Amino acid sequence: MARIGVFICHCGENISATVDCGRVAETIGKLKHVAYSTEYKYMCSDPGQTLIKDAIKEYKLTGIVVSACSPRMHEPTFRKAAAEAGLNPYLCEMANLREHCSWVHEKNDMTTEKAIDIVRILVEKVKINNALLPIKVPVTKTALVIGGGIAGIQSALDIANTGHKVILVERSPSIGGHMSQLSETFPTLDCSQCILTPRMVEVAQHPNITLYTYSEVESLDGFIGNFTVKIRKKARSIDEKDCTGCGLCTTKCPQKKIPNEFEEGMGFRPAIYTPFPQAVPNKPVIDREHCTYYIKGKCKVCEIVCPTKAIRFDQPDQILEIQIGAIVIATGFDIKRTDFFPEYGFGKYKDVIDGLQFERLASASGPTGGAILRPSDGVVPKNIVFVACAGSRDPAKGIAYCSKICCMYTAKHAMLYKHKVHEGKAHVFYMDIRSAGKNYDEFVRRAIEEDYVNYIRGRVSTIYECDGKLIVKGVDTLLGAQPLEIVADMVVLATAGVANSGAEELAQKLHVSYDSHKFFAEAHPKLKPVETNTAGIFLAGACQNPKDIPDSVSQASGAAVKVAALFSQNELTREPLVAFVNRCSPPLYSTCVGCFLCQSVCPYQAIEREEFKNRDGKTIKTVAKINEGLCQGCGTCVALCRSKSIDLHGYTNNQMYTEVMALLNVY
Amino acid sequence: MKIGIYPGCSLNGSARDYNESVFAIAKVFDIELVQIPDWNCCGATAAHNLNKELSLALPARILALAEQNGLDEVLVPCAACYSRLVVTQHELKVEPEIKNRIKKVIELDYRGTTKILNVIEWLDKYIIPGIEEKLVLPFKHKVACYYGCLLVRPNKVLNYDRSEDPQTMDEVMRKIGADPIYFPYKTECCGAGFSVSRTDIVSKLSGKIIEDAEHRGAEFMIVACPMCHSNLDMRRPDINQYFKTKFTLPILFVTQALGLAVGLSPKEVGLQRHFVPVNIDS
Ligand SMILES: Cc1cc2nc3c(=O)[nH]c(=O)nc-3n(C[C@H](O)[C@H](O)[C@H](O)COP(=O)(O)OP(=O)(O)OC[C@H]3O[C@@H](n4cnc5c(N)ncnc54)[C@H](O)[C@@H]3O)c2cc1C
Ligand code: SF4
Ligand code: SF4
């Protein structure tokens, strides 16, 4: 016989101000099978929990309903209290009297009636609840970090330093990401390479990190603690063990005019190349698309000159299969290029460049050796215009969000320009200056006050060429909305930060969600910014949204802690609120008819096949089986199953039906 | 081949030259242009400033009449009329409720099936494919193609050409042998409806357009809108006075240039009606 206890919480005045808690407790107490019913000011407090625990013992309760706030808030609290009193935690239910009742209604009888109804249906439900046991799954204590930008580097190092193995996969020939392209960094103007390269080297030398560059994730199977990843190691066309990184081959390659990606197209590279001098690993790769040998069938100059005979023209791609327990996605971002802006010349004006191109111009290791020279004719621009929010915050361009980093790097660019071209004039067109961050606004003020950068609040409508100059037409909205024309020598567009190429495909391979802009989606915008909604997969850096280096690094360390916490356990415990396919005795085995329609709808690939064999080993029936490690308990399969063979622990059809019937007063 | 045409007010008035050149070309290419019977004002700039329902009902009636008369395609040479018709068709498509209300107002059935063509689309579809055979006097001139505001906007509704840097007119001009120059002013404002009320504004804005085209060596400016034409051509004395200079750049409708290229006489395409004299020496 069920003996149910009901605990009505006032939540201070949050509930009691509109609901007559005393009447609820009294009415519920008269229900059949309710052995105890009471009210209290704060159930979640220590005395509140003690009250519950004592009642469970004293009245030998077989189930409890805590009628308080949202289960999102305190279900774990009360289930834990129940367990401490010896009651299976899944025999504790919460009735949400706050969000579902007191907060949304006025104080009157009907509100109290509704509260009674809410509690009543849960009393009926908890009567038929089953005791459930948590699910245990083993953990493979190796992490996969995808993307070797500063975020991926930081995550990999942090995880490796906790003593766990890390596989770092980077698709380009070197790690470093966009940070390796930057000249100096806001808000301190320290040299990007100088703070980054030591970390890159640390990654390469760390005993716990295995680095696969020029590699990509091919596929992913499994679930938290137990993933299997396939990695495609693209053919570098050299033997990394034999190559000493002397670079002789790169100087002799006859293909010399391939646009250099690292220099953002403002320089050239050969077909066999290392992306930049500090690359990690410092070993070249043959770009087969542009190599004379792969195009015409002959050349092999690099093979001839290589002193250690390390060139391998016939090297195939390699597929590696690795067991891992957790994943950090750190694939970064990209920016819109100038060709996205028809109004600013559609990419056809050579002297209208984007922010990364400016970084390369300003970089001591860049194509101009750090001199600000305009690309068309190599002349020092006397008048330079920076356009913030190019594309960002512009719904007409399909990018309604703020790219967050450009206000800051625009101030930095204007400053760097003024430091290098003292007599030059720098103008910045902006919408708002968004410089929230430690020492950030001070940095922008410095650009304005100490470097005399001319900040103009207004947008640029068009840019066009006339007599070798760029005419920038805009408006100054602070000076009576006056139209304004600046005759410039060079224009830098702070183009919108966007999702990296291939982000969507990767998200689909990993089964994680992404937003409408193809940025990876966090599990909760506030409380789970590092998690994805796939257990065991975490986010770091600008793959989630455009971020600066400090934010990327903090999140990367956050993700590392999440991985370390996961790896601190030998077994994982999961909530048992998962689906199950019924089983019965042979010859039926299950009412499941094996149509596997459920397999096609499960968003988490959690449905497997189970075969029943006779003594001869012949399969006599194949039915669906839920992988408890993967199932997230969404219930989609339950709704779909035509033979009603699937049900959800904790929310069975019968429990739901009982609640509805209770509401209709059938009981 | 029979296509409907909606002339609007200007093609019978200030832009008769445009009208003449459109009909002259159609004749060369054996296209019969049928005026929509009993057509009315498109609402122009006035209606949609005053009364939304009126601004939709007027064009809707025109389109309903086209449907009634079996005109599946309608050429609308005036860019402003074109805009009103296209925008109306779009709004009635996305707002069925408004459509039903408008149907009651105009007391006609309206399905919204008419294909509305602006002059460039029309040339592109019916004239350019056969141009090579008929091209007798290639228009070998440097031209500045001026699109103005309404031909390629609003982006959301039109989905035709790229609104910030349109190319279709340049393409048409290339097909008749012209050399379209790089012209950043191609969609800048000409002053539009201020033509009558604030000629000073028109003088300044239209003057800048002409100044840039002349500076870049254009021999002709090509337009596809009666309003642009009158601002750039008819208001030339005001412009010259405002700029204290003598701009001589002639403004041709795209159909006039094309007409000349297929051997029509200057008179047949209405060149004598221009305020700025057009000297064709080729
Ligand atoms: C012009 C400009 C100036 C900036 N200046 C500053 C500054 O001064 N200060 C500051 O704090 N921030 C600055 N930033 C921001 C800074 O660049 C970012 O915060 C930082 O690069 C983010 O690091 P990340 O690792 O998340 O991404 P990224 O740097 O983009 O690195 C991502 C890495 O993942 C790799 N990758 C991508 N897809 C895959 C895949 N599918 N598989 C494997 N690997 C993959 C990429 O090749 C890359 O190496 C600037 C940004 C720009 C555009
Ligand atoms: S960071 Fe500044 S420039 Fe960049 S989108 Fe946001 S507001 Fe615009
Ligand atoms: S409940 Fe959802 S996650 Fe679990 S097996 Fe069914 S469909 Fe998949």
pLDDT, chain A, mean? 95
Pairing of strands A4-9, A34-40: parallel
Measured CA angle at B125 (ends B120, B126), to 5 deg: 105
B164–A466 CB contact, under 8 Å: no
Nearest by CB to A464, from B162, B163, B184: name it. B184
Mean pLDDT of A242-270: 95
B184 touches chain A (CB under 8 A): yes
- The yes-or-no verdict on residue A506 having pLDDT over 90 is yes
- The yes-or-no verdict on residue A1 having pLDDT over 90 is no
Mean pLDDT of B82-105: 95
Classify residue A133 by burial, with Cβ atoms within 10 Å: 0-12, 13-18, 19+: exposed
Mean pLDDT of A238-249: 94
Q: In which band, very low, low, confident or very high, does the pLDDT at A254 lie, cut at 50, 70 and 90?
A: very high
CA B189 to CA B150: how far, in whole Å? 10
Distance from the Cα of A343 to chain B's closest Cα (Å) equals 5
- The yes-or-no verdict on residue A119 having pLDDT over 90 is yes
Per-residue confidence (pLDDT) for residue A558, from 0 to 100? 98
Instruction: Give strand pairing partners of A427.
Output: A385, A454
Sketch the domain layout of chain A as residue ranges.
4-127, 143-172+187-229+319-329+514-571, 248-305, 334-498, 579-648
Per-residue confidence (pLDDT) for residue A223, from 0 to 100? 85
Q: What CATH number labels B2-117? A: 1.20.1050.140
Lowest-confidence region among B18-27, B64-73, B195-204 = B195-204
A342–B162 CB contact, under 8 Å: yes
CA B184 to CA B144: how far, in whole Å? 9
The pTM assigned to this predicted structure is 0.80
A466–B182 CB contact, under 8 Å: no
B159 touches chain A (CB under 8 A): no
- The yes-or-no verdict on residue B114 having pLDDT over 80 is yes
A343–B164 CB contact, under 8 Å: yes
Say yes or no: do domains A143-172+187-229+319-329+514-571 and A334-498 share a fold: yes
Per-residue confidence (pLDDT) for residue B282, from 0 to 100? 47
A342–B182 CB contact, under 8 Å: no
CA A365 to CA A263: how far, in whole Å? 10
Q: Over the stretch A566-606, which tens digit does the pLDDT of each residue have?
A: 999 999 888 899 999 999 988 889 999 999 999 999 988 89
Give the architecture (CATH level 2) of A143-172+187-229+319-329+514-571: 3-Layer(bba) Sandwich (3.50)
Q: Whose CA is nearest to atom 8 of ligand 2?
A: A389
Q: Could you tell me the two tokens for A473?
A: 């037409």
B212 touches chain A (CB under 8 A): yes
Q: What CATH number labels A4-127? A: 3.40.50
- The yes-or-no verdict on residue A236 having pLDDT over 70 is yes
- The yes-or-no verdict on residue B112 having pLDDT over 70 is yes
Residues of A with CB under 8 A from a CB of B: 341-343, 346, 396, 462, 464-466, 471
Q: Could you tell me the two tokens for B201?
A: 């504004």
* B182 contacts on A by Cβ (under 8 Å): 465
Query: What's the ipTM?
Result: 0.81
- The yes-or-no verdict on residue A667 having pLDDT over 70 is no
Q: How far is CA A177 from the centre of its chain?
A: 17
Q: How many CB pairs under 8 A join A and B?
A: 20
The answer to whether the CB of A213 falls within 8 A of the CB of A173 is yes
Q: Over the stretch A348-406, which tens digit does the pLDDT of each residue have?
A: 999 999 999 999 999 999 999 999 999 999 999 999 999 999 999 999 899 999 999 99
Give the architecture (CATH level 2) of A334-498: 3-Layer(bba) Sandwich (3.50)
CA A176 to CA A196: how far, in whole Å? 7
Number of the ligand 3 atom closest to the C-alpha atom of A627? 5
Say yes or no: do domains B2-117 and B136-273 share a fold: no
Q: Over the stretch A138-156, which tens digit does the pLDDT of each residue have?
A: 899 999 999 999 999 999 9
Task: From the options 3.90.1150.10, 3.30.70.3270, 3.30.70.940, 3.40.50.1000, give the CATH code of A579-648.
Answer: 3.30.70.3270
Sketch the domain layout of chain B as residue ranges.
2-117, 136-273
Query: Which residue in chain B is spatially nearest to A341 when comparing CA positions?
Result: B164
Mean pLDDT of A525-532: 93
Helix, strand, or coil (residue B98) = helix
Q: Over the stretch A38-73, which tens digit does the pLDDT of each residue have?
A: 999 999 999 999 999 999 999 999 999 999 999 988
What's the gap in Å between A504 CA and the centre of ligand 1? 17
CA B151 to CA B247: how far, in whole Å? 25
CA B36 to CA B55: how far, in whole Å? 19
Per-residue buried b or exposed e for B43-81, using 16+ beta carbons within 10 Å of the residue's own CB: bbeebbeeeeeebbbbbbbbbbbbbeeebebbbbbbbbb
Ligand (nearest to CA of A603): 3
CA A612 to CA A614: how far, in whole Å? 7
Radius of gyration of chain B (CA): 19
Query: Which residue in chain A is spatially nearest to B188 when comparing CA positions?
Result: A462
> Could you give the C-alpha distances from B134 to A339, B14, B127, in angstroms and in order?
38, 29, 10
Mean pLDDT of B188-199: 90
Residue A552 CB–ligand 1 contact under 6 Å: yes
Q: What's the topology of domain B136-273? A: Rossmann fold (3.40.50)
Helix, strand, or coil (residue A607) = strand
Q: Over the stretch A628-648, which tens digit does the pLDDT of each residue have?
A: 888 989 999 999 999 999 999
